[in-house]
Structures are given as C-alpha cells and as structure tokens.
Amino acid sequence: MKRIVSLFNNLSIKDKFFTITISILSVFCLMSILIVSYVINLYEQKIYEESAEVLHLSSTILEQEIKKVENISFQFSTDNRVQEYLSYIKENPLDYESYQYKIQLRERMTTLATQERYVASIELIDATGEEQTVGFNTKVINEVEDMFPALNAARGANVWFGKEEESILLSARQLRGKSNINLQHYGYLTIALDMNILMREILNLSPNRNFVISKNGEIIYTNNEFTEYDFLPASQNNRGYEIKTVNNEKLLITHFNSRNPDLTYYNIINFDEITSQTELLRNLLMLLFVITFLLAMYISRRAARGISKPLEQLTKKMKKVQEGDFEQVEGLSSSHLKDEIGVLHKNFEIMLNRINELIKENYMKQLMIKETEYKALEAQINPHFLYNTLDSINWMAKSNKQKAIAEMVESLGNMMRNIISKKEPLITIKEELEIVHDYMRIQTYRFRNRLNFTINILPEIEKCSMPKLTIQPIVENAIQHGLENMVTDCYITVSTQIIGDDIAIMVKDNGGGMDKETIHAVMKGNIKSRSSGIGVHNINERIKLMYGDQYGINISSEVNKGTTVTISLPFKRGDHVV
C-alpha cells in the first residue's frame, strides 16, 4: 500500500488528475453496472413470480369448473326423482315403467351434458348393468368396469380418473340409495370433461406450452411437442418455478399443485422470450457505460493537460529565475487566464518585477552605505566625548561641594550610557528600572518634595527581558500629564506581578485622569508625547510586534482619580521563556 501511495505521490499533476478521474469513474461505472444488474435480476425475478401467480389463478379457475362438475354429479345422484327411478329399475328391471324411467333419466342426463361446453359425455350404469351415454363424444368413456373397485371403496363419494390418450378427466361415483339404512347400490355415474375445451376456451390461456398431470403420472392435458415430461420438476411445494434447459432450449417452468382433484399444472415459457428485452437493455447499458468511460477518459486527459500546461510553464520560468535569469520569458506566460493558475502567473511576474526593482534599489543603497560609513566612523567619538564631559562636570561639582548638581549630572550620564551604549533592542527589567531610577533622581531635584516615587519589583523577574525604553516614557508621561497640572503632591508607583506565563508591570499615578475618548485617542496615537517623543501607541505597537497581539499596553483611568498603565509581557528571562 505504501508503495502505491509513493508511486502516486511521485506522479505529475496531469497524471494524478487523470488517475483520480479514471478511478472515480471506474468505481462509478462498476457500481452502476452492479445496480443495473441487480435491478434487472429483480425485474426478471418478478416476471417469474408473476408467471407462477398467473398459473395459480388459472388453476384456481380450473378447480372451480371441476368443482362445478362434481356438484352436478352429486346433485344428480341425490335427486329424489333419480333415487326413485333407480330404485324402481333395480326392483323391476323388465317392467315397462322401468323403461319409461330410463327415458326420464336419459333426458335429465342430456340436460346436464348441455349445461357446460366442456362436458364431453355422461354415462349411467344402473343396478341391472345397462349403460346409457349422452353427449357429443360418447366414445371417450369405456372400460368403466376397471373403476368399479375404487368407486365401491369410495362408498358414493366422487372419484377422479384421467384418460391420458384422449385428454379426458372423468368424474365418477357409485350411486347409492339414501332412503334406507343399507344405502343400496343403484349403479354408477361417470361425467367426462374434455380438457382441450376447458383449457382453451374456459381459461383462455396464452399460447404457451402447458401440462396437466394426475397424481398417477398420467398426462391429462398437453398442448406442446414434448412426448416425454421427465424434465418437469417435482412439485413438492404448493407452487413455484424452475429454469431448465431442454433440447438446447432454455425454459421457465412454473407449476402448481391442486388437491381436489389431485392434479399438477405446468406452464412452460421460452426463457429467451421473456428476457430478450432485459438482455437488450443490459447490452445497451453496457455499451453506454463503455462509451461514457472512453469519452470521460478523453475529456479528463484534455482537462488534465489544460491544468498541467500552465503549471509546466510556471515551472520553466522558476527554473530560469533559479539560474539567475530574472527577465520575463516570452511564450511562457499564462497570466491572461482568470483562474488560480493565471493568478499565480500574474503574481510571479509581479514578484519578478519587484525583485528586479529591489536589485536595482539594493545596488543604489550599497553605494550610499559606502558613502556614509566614513561619516558614521567620525560620529562614534561623540558619545565618548559627551560621557567624558559629563564626568568632568560631576567631579567639578563635587569639588565645589555641589552635591545636587553632581547627582543630577551623574544620573544623566548613567541614563545616556544605558540608552546609547546598549545596542540590543532588549534589556532586562532590572536595567530598564535603573534607567527609570536615574530619570526620577533628576526629576526629584526639579520638583523637590512634590514628587514621590516608589518601585516594587519581584526579584524573580529582574532578569526577564523587555524592549528598551518601555517604562521610562510612561513614567515621563505620568509626570507631564499629572504633576505639571497638579497643585498637590504627585505619587507614582511602579509595581510588578506574575500572572500565569505573563508579567504585568503597572505604572500608577494620582493625577487628573482621563475619560474614555482621551484613552482611545492616546492608544491610537492621536495625542503626541510632549516629552521624549516615544508615545504610548508606539510602545504598544513595538510590544505587539515583538511578542504578539496578546501582549501590549492597557490603560485604565478615571477623571480626577488617577491613571494606571499596565504593560503585559511574556515571562522571559534573558532571551528564553521561563
């Protein structure tokens, strides 16, 4: 798997796009084929079940017709007049009255035979053994004597027999007297049903091949060319279907069992006839999938080429820049495109132009640097000269016992040494507070007892780093905006606090305070500092630039109650986070 992923990752964008498209399309086509196959199979399964259901309905209609014949036989055998006629014939076989009764019975049989078209004939054998047959096909009933044992055993119940050669179904029963306890034997009644008429006209079946087989294996009805029927499935269930191949012909065979009479019905349909449409649909869909797949391959290839070509052009331009050629390359630009790749080309050309401008600008700056190096070398002597001069003034003031002047000059010298001599942008909090302390010594001599200054610093944060000249300008602002506008004493306190991974340095005064609008103006830099020139806005931006937007300065103030400026810094010692 890792090998495949590695091979894919090393492909070009064109090949990756083509591979992904073909993979997705292949999965889609495969799923579509599976779904279509499933739906078609489901549809064919439904056809099989419908065929079995049609056979079931047809068989039910057939059962109803056969049941009707059975009822006719029963009504005839239990009719009072028939019972009277048969009883008289048995007791007086040679009497003229018996002859008349036989005529009456024949007329009744004729009436019954004409009630249904599929009744081929009706035969009555009385107790004397004389036979009477009516109907349009009186030859179908013969060898009745073979049925007598079964009829006698049935004791008057209806018994069904099949005649395989003539497609005849026989309904037969023993006629017995019902007026006495002994149930005397009066004869036999047989009704022949022509299955050809019943299947064709009554059921109006479609021109499929059909079988009706009795429980003894006799073919009661068939309308096809099959001479053998051993290929027919054994109908163990009430109904069902099977697909079999007979003589190289694929067949759908549906079957249904009837219990009264005990017959099995078969309907045989050519499988290709019912599946030809679905097979055609399956082939058309497969052809459509193949065409769609090939078309998608062509389109995806062209699309991949359209995406990769501008990228290849951009790569060539980058290689030329890598080799040191910063000039525009003709014929490799796609900046006219409006998509993301066109934007890349356009931005790369803008960047290339900017690089050329910077190269020229840097060349001019190098010339200027050379010119100013000598002047900078000359200027290096000025701070040393200033320190030496202040040191001389300090010793002269001490010689003349001018302590105040000496301390002021000494503090000023220390401030300048700490500010000018330290080139790094970051100093420790201890060093920053030393600058503040020297500044406050100078201001104390200026304002005498009106200025009260206190520093409370936690020892563990003395070595933490912070931007140089952060606290001193804020203290200077507190004096400028507080003490100079007050007639009472001014109290300024610098305190520190550790809050989680952060340090908070608070500069608090008891000056006149500010309203919200003034605070907003100060934070935006709209109010300039009148002292050192380093305003709160600049200090705040410098802290955010160094440490992030979560750090900086926050001002809380109330008019006539004083101001507290809180400086938020990360808890760092030297250049390392503690």
pLDDT of 217 strictly over 70: no
Say whether both 27 and 158 belong to one domain: yes
* Tens-place pLDDT, residues 303-314: 777 777 777 777
Closest by Cα among 464, 465, 467, 462 to 425 = 467
* Tens-place pLDDT, residues 43-60: 777 777 777 777 777 777
Q: Phi-psi region for residue 473, left (φ > 0), alpha (ψ -120 to 50) or beta?
A: alpha
Q: 390 lies in a domain?
A: no
Token output for 548: 């992030």
Residue positions counted in the chain: 578
Say whether both 271 and 351 belong to one domain: no
Say whether both 51 and 154 belong to one domain: yes
Closest by Cα among 122, 95, 118 to 107 = 122
Closest by Cα among 36, 34, 50, 44 to 250 = 44
Q: 351 lies in a domain?
A: yes
Say whether both 269 and 357 belong to one domain: no
Cis peptide before 425 (omega within 30 of 0): no
CB 309 within 8 A of CB 302: no
Q: How many domains does the chain have?
A: 3
Distances (CA, A) of 125 to 109, 128, 145, 178, 186: 12, 8, 10, 18, 9
Q: What whole-number distance in Å separates Cα of residue 158 and Cα of residue 198?
A: 20
* Tens-place pLDDT, residues 114-131: 888 888 899 999 988 888
Say whether both 123 and 240 belong to one domain: yes
Query: What CATH number did the domain enclosing 484 receive?
Result: 3.30.565.10
* Tens-place pLDDT, residues 69-111: 889 999 999 899 999 999 899 889 888 899 999 999 999 999 9
Q: Which residues pair with 568 in a beta bridge?
A: 504, 552
- Which among 269, 291, 313 is the end of a domain? 291
Query: Would strands 490-499 and 451-456 be described as parallel, antiparallel, or unpaired?
Result: parallel
Q: 235 lies in a domain?
A: yes
Say whether both 280 and 172 belong to one domain: yes
Say whether both 330 and 267 belong to one domain: no
Q: What whole-number distance in Å separates Cα of residue 576 and Cα of residue 571?
A: 9
Say whether both 276 and 360 belong to one domain: no
Q: 357 lies in a domain?
A: yes
Q: 266 lies in a domain?
A: yes
* Tens-place pLDDT, residues 194-213: 888 887 776 565 556 666 76
The kind and range of the H/E element at 74 are helix 13-78
Q: 412 lies in a domain?
A: no
- Domain span at residue 511 reads 445-577
Say whether both 268 and 331 belong to one domain: no
Burial class (CB in 10 A: 0-12, 13-18, 19+), 60: exposed
Q: What whole-number distance in Å separates Cα of residue 469 and Cα of residue 427?
A: 9
The kind and range of the H/E element at 323 are none
Q: What pTM does this model have? A: 0.45
pLDDT value of residue 575: 46
Query: What CATH number did the domain enclosing 109 receive?
Result: 3.30.450.20
Say whether both 287 and 347 belong to one domain: no
Q: 195 lies in a domain?
A: yes
pLDDT value of residue 308: 73
Q: 58 lies in a domain?
A: yes
